Amino acid sequence: MRKEAGFTIAQAVDGLSVDESTLQRVETGWKSFRQAGHLRELLERYGITDDDQMDRLVALQREASSREWWADGSTNMLSGMPRFLGIEAAAQEIRAFHPVVIPGLLQSEAYALAVHDLHKTVDETTTEFRRQSMRLRMRRKEALTRDGDPVKLWAILNEPALRYPLGDADLMREQYDELCKMADLENVTIQVLPQGERGYVALHDVSIMMLGDGLPTTVVSDTAWFTVAVTDKPREVDRFSRMFEAMASNALPPRETPKFLHQLSREITE
């Protein structure tokens, strides 16, 4: 909104009770406005005159602040993770794909633990980091099953990721059962991208978050440097959207997902 209004950060806060440093940290997701009056001042400067829109944004700010249940452990998170969690908490719809593993919002606890254990030796993470990451991942999943306006999720599962054994047969069957349970939810759509089919497959993870309320759609991707990259630049959002749409068009229809998962459960061996 600041950019659309044609303001620099310095111009936006000139004469207001918010300083440049605060606004910069708010825009990058590292800080929240603790007073609704500060946000209202800024919105008025940006030319927002519709009372309903202003009230929605103030309510969103208040709700997002109250959801910062991860703040006590932010010092142990990957770079970029606090900002990602803040955006995800405000998302109305999420689209997700990962070429190697099942996306985090659909992982069972045992499967998620196996993912962390797989990386522990290489990344030299501590037991505390593993414990905290697991707590965060399980709390994030609650957005899919909460009462009242649960987040919508559209996930594409890569068949090689589904077949990649991160544990014994029982663990993998438990994960397949979890996917079937999640696929039954009205707000969750799951498609399987079969291997061997010609067509586009992303070589990295894809996460697209639609925020609504006039806020920009945001994309997220893990990097090779153990950080989380977050951007709302239209060019990158469009690119990620094209990637997801290309894979969705090649994936099996959602109605075939349970059948595919049951087949995997039968095929898996110890």
DSSP, residue by residue, 70-109: TGGGGGGSPBTHHHHHHHHHH-SEEEEEESSS--GGG--H
User: What is the per-residue pLDDT across 211-244, written as a single tens digit (0 to 9) for each?
Assistant: 876 778 989 888 766 667 888 888 999 999 999 9
What angle do the packed helices 109-123 and 127-145 form, to 10 degrees? Answer: 150
Smallest CA-to-CA distance from 84 within 239, 174, 205 is with 205
pTM, two decimals, is 0.74
| Strand, coil or helix: 177 | helix
Q: Please count the CA atoms within 13 angstroms of the CA of 83 that sit on its side-chain side.
A: 20
Distance CA 120, CA 127 (A): 9
User: Helices in 124-256 by DSSP H: which ranges?
Assistant: 127-145, 159-163, 169-183, 234-250
Q: Higher confidence at residue 217 or residue 84?
A: 217
User: What is the per-residue pLDDT across 127-183, written as a single tens digit (0 to 9) for each?
Assistant: 777 777 788 888 888 889 988 889 999 999 999 999 999 889 999 999 999 999 999
Distance CA 219, CA 233 (A): 9
**Torsion angle, alpha carbons of 241, 247, 248, 253, to 10:** -170
